[in-house]
Chain A
Amino acid sequence: MRKLENFAKYTAALRPPIIPFEYYKAFFLSIFLITGILFTSLFFLRPKIFEILEIQKKINKERKMLADLTQKAATLEGLDEIELTEKTEVLLKALPPEKDVANILLTFKVLGSQAEITLQGIQVDSGDTFSLKIEGGTEKIIRFMERIETSYPLMKLEEIAVSSREGSSTQATAKVQAFFLPLPQALGSVESPLSLVTPQEEKIYQDLLRFTPVLTEEDMQTIQSGKENPFTF
């Protein structure tokens, strides 16, 4: 009997203590909360953090765009429209938007009569290169050639050959290249940066002002054709 009591005591000591349910509650609650935290982190917090990073990238890009647009708007505000119009008119006379053979031929004729030389022949080699055959005094031929290079539309003497014989007037041939430049087809997007005129280009414009137009406005009339261009004013 005594042994049995001892055995019961011994087994009771080995048996784990009975833990009340309220102590398990905290354990289950912890598991539930940790699971909840993990789920919300994975499906809510993580996407939000990625979204934040994405928005920050966009904001940085848009801030730069805003700064560029602000600068562009301020630059445009600062430009004088009248001055721009005057300058572009001069430049369009100097560098016409299209090949205009008739106007160039007329320019040669007017320059020839101003320089008092005889234009014996004009040959159009291609749309922008002309071969001239001239007769007259040497000084007058030189003056004529100088005027070609300092008149609107812009032209360049590629080759000249002058021959003179005693007792006869000087004969000359010249190959002249005329320049033209088509108008830009599009303005570009609003975001595209505005290129300003550099001091070197401003100097070129000032040089160009020394050039003189040969033909009057009436002479410059050309036939309008093709699509409407946004650069015609």
Chain B
Amino acid sequence: MKKEIDFLKDYEKISSPKKLSRFLTVGMFVVVIFYSLLVAGTLSFWFFLKKEHQEINRQIEVKKSQISQLRKKESLQVLLKQRLTSLAKLWSLKGGNLPRILSFFLQMSGEGVSLTEIKASAKGEVGVTGTAPNALNFARFLEKITSSDNANICSKIILTSVSRQKDGGYNFSLSLTYEKT
């Protein structure tokens, strides 16, 4: 028996006016249902979001009024923070500690060496002028300044000038750089 494949069978199924009409009616019904669901879903989601938006806004207003009631605390905190931030910057600039440098050189003098002038700046520069009765005392003074115990105070010491006097004493001047603390 000879078998044939009829490709037109399905086409004929819907191409007949009655069947086409039914196909369109059913198809449109499905499309309308689907579209209606889509519109309903979109509207519901929009409505839900609107509600949520309103609720969040309400909560924000509540928090704002709560913060407004704590305005005094906030202003104190802002003032405190402003001052402390500036102080932190000042602290980083500080550290010259010039009285400490003066004390240090006063301790170093003695044993015959007298310092006639000490100049120090917050930048870390120190100039010292003094007199020593003899070379031995002057050498001891220099040794004390440059000793390892004082290495953390003076980072750089330059003997700027030394002059011997008629009486055997020495006038000297030093230029130093001190370590800021």
| A interface with B by C-beta (< 8 Å) | 17, 19-20, 22-23, 25-27, 29-30, 33-34, 37, 40, 44-45, 48-49, 51-52, 55-56, 58-59, 62-63, 65-66, 69-70, 72-73, 76-77, 79, 81, 84-85, 87-88, 91-92, 94-95, 138-139, 141-142, 145-146, 149, 154, 156-166, 179, 181, 183-184, 187-188, 190, 194-197, 200-201, 204-205, 207-208, 230-231, 233
Pick the residue among B39, B42, B50, B73 that contacts A84 (CB under 8 A): B73
Chain A residue nearest in CB terms to B103: A142
- Given known pairs A95-B87, A190-B68, the reply for A69 and B76 (CB within 8 Å) is no
Interface-located stretch among B1-9, B22-30, B156-164: B22-30
Q: How far is the CB of B134 from chain A (nearest CB, A)?
A: 17
| B interface with A by C-beta (< 8 Å) | 17-18, 20-22, 24-25, 27-28, 31-32, 35, 38-39, 42-43, 45-46, 49-50, 52-53, 56-57, 59-60, 63-64, 66-68, 70-88, 90-91, 93-94, 96-99, 102-103, 106, 114-122
Q: A29-B25, A66-B56, A69-B63 are in contact. List 6 more A-B contacts (CB 8 A).
A: A25-B21, A79-B77, A158-B96, A159-B98, A188-B78, A195-B77
Assess the A79–B73 pair: CB atoms within 8 A.
yes
- Given known pairs A23-B20, A201-B85, the reply for A62 and B56 (CB within 8 Å) is yes
Chain A residue nearest in CB terms to B42: A48
Assess the B77–A84 pair: CB atoms within 8 A.
yes
Q: In the docked arrangement, what's the CA distance between A29 and B86, Å?
A: 78
Assess the B106–A138 pair: CB atoms within 8 A.
yes
Contact residues in A for B42 (Cβ distance below 8 Å): 45, 48-49, 52
Pick the residue among A29, A76, A157, A231 that contacts B79 (CB under 8 A): A231
Assess the B76–A84 pair: CB atoms within 8 A.
yes
Pick the residue among B31, B53, B116 that contacts A62 (CB under 8 A): B53
27 contacts between A and B (CB under 8 A): A25-B21, A34-B28, A45-B39, A48-B42, A52-B49, A55-B50, A58-B53, A59-B49, A62-B56, A69-B63, A69-B64, A70-B63, A72-B63, A73-B70, A141-B102, A142-B102, A145-B99, A156-B90, A157-B98, A159-B98, A160-B119, A160-B121, A164-B115, A190-B68, A195-B77, A204-B84, A208-B87
Per DSSP, chain B at the interface is helix
Assess the A88–B76 pair: CB atoms within 8 A.
yes
Assess the B49–A56 pair: CB atoms within 8 A.
yes
- Given known pairs A27-B21, A59-B52, A88-B83, the reply for A52 and B77 (CB within 8 Å) is no
Per DSSP, chain A at the interface is helix
Chain B residue nearest in CB terms to A68: B63
Q: How far is the CB of A37 from chain B (nearest CB, A)?
A: 5
Assess the A204–B75 pair: CB atoms within 8 A.
no
Pick the residue among B21, B46, B82, B102 that contacts A184 (CB under 8 A): B82
Contact residues in A for B117 (Cβ distance below 8 Å): 161-164
Q: In the docked arrangement, what's the CA distance between A55 and B21, Å?
A: 43
Contact residues in B for A20 (Cβ distance below 8 Å): 17
Q: In the docked arrangement, what's the CA distance between A204 and B94, Å?
A: 12
Pick the residue among B73, B83, B118 that contacts A161 (CB under 8 A): B118
